[in-house]
Amino acid sequence: MSRYTATKMAIIEFMRRLANDVASDSITANVVFLGLTNTLATTPQSDEQMRATRKQRAINRMGEPEDVKGVFLFLASNGASFITGQAIVVNGDRYRIG
């Protein structure tokens, strides 16, 4: 878990530094952390693994691509032009940092 946590924190710090570096050019930089989402990458998981994951969430189901696309569309829109340097978590209420 230490490598996972260190990597996640490094991504956040890189994004915050990048946000500061490009802000004067009216560019925003944010990161979106996704929970386990029903994609081709998750199909090898067993039913038992999927059930265990769902039990750990407040929203008791797998995320779907439709659940996350709105965040990306919003961040790419003018409505998010004053949002920068943020880590946005889309995971059904499961955020794991360590």
Q: How does pLDDT run across 17-72, given as a tens digit for each residue?
A: 999 999 999 999 999 998 878 888 878 888 888 788 777 777 888 889 999 999 99
- pLDDT tens per residue across span 75-88: 999 999 999 999 99
* DSSP letter, residue 79: G
pLDDT at 98: 43
- Which helix H or strand E contains 75, and what residues bound it? helix 65-75
One-letter amino acid of 24? S
One-letter amino acid of 44? P
Which of these, 27, 34, 42, lies nearest to 11 by C-alpha position?
34
Residue 9 — pLDDT band, cuts 50, 70, 90? very high
CA distance 68 to 32: 9
Q: Is 38 exposed, middle or buried (0-12, 13-18, 19+ CB in 10 A)?
A: middle
Q: Provide the annotated active-site residues.
A: 4
Q: Does residue 74 surpass a pLDDT of 70?
A: yes
**Model confidence, pTM:** 0.78
pLDDT at 94: 62
CA distance 52 to 96: 15
One-letter amino acid of 41? A
Residue ranges of domains in the chain, CATH in brackets: 2-90 (3.40.50.720)
